[in-house]
């Protein structure tokens, strides 16, 4: 099954928060209300530097995904 790269999520227990979930490696969730990121995949120490550089770009893409999704609702 092909999954989308990003999905939006919300939760009634966190009514002021909105989440974007990245489904490719490295899988993570970002809370757009406070920019907290939780990575789901284990990362080796040797991959840490590469991951940090990639995460910066992915977090930016997550924000762009959210903006594009919100434009569709207008």
At 17-67, the pLDDT tens digits run 999 999 998 999 999 999 999 999 887 777 788 888 889 999 999 999 999
Domain membership of residue 1 (yes or no) is no
What single string gives the DSSP state of each residue in 8-56? EE--TTSTT--EEEE-SSSPEEEETTTTEEEE-S---GGGHHHHHHHHH
Question: What is this structure's pTM?
Answer: 0.87
Residue 56: domain span: 6-73
Please count the CA atoms within 13 angstroms of the CA of 31 that sit on its side-chain side. 10
Domain membership of residue 36 (yes or no) is yes
Nearest-angstrom CA–CA distance, 48 and 50: 6
Structural domain count, the chain: 1
Domain membership of residue 11 (yes or no) is yes
Peptide bond preceding 26 in cis form (omega within 30 of 0): yes
Domain membership of residue 17 (yes or no) is yes
């Amino acid at each position: 099954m092909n999954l989308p790269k990003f999905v939006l999520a919300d939760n009634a227990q966190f009514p002021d928060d909105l989440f974007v979930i990245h489904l490719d490696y490295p899988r993570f969730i970002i809370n757009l209300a406070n920019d907290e990121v939780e990575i789901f995949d284990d990362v080796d120490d040797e991959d840490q530097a590469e991951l940090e550089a990639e995460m910066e770009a992915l977090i930016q893409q997550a924000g762009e995904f959210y903006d594009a999704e919100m434009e569709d609702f207008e």
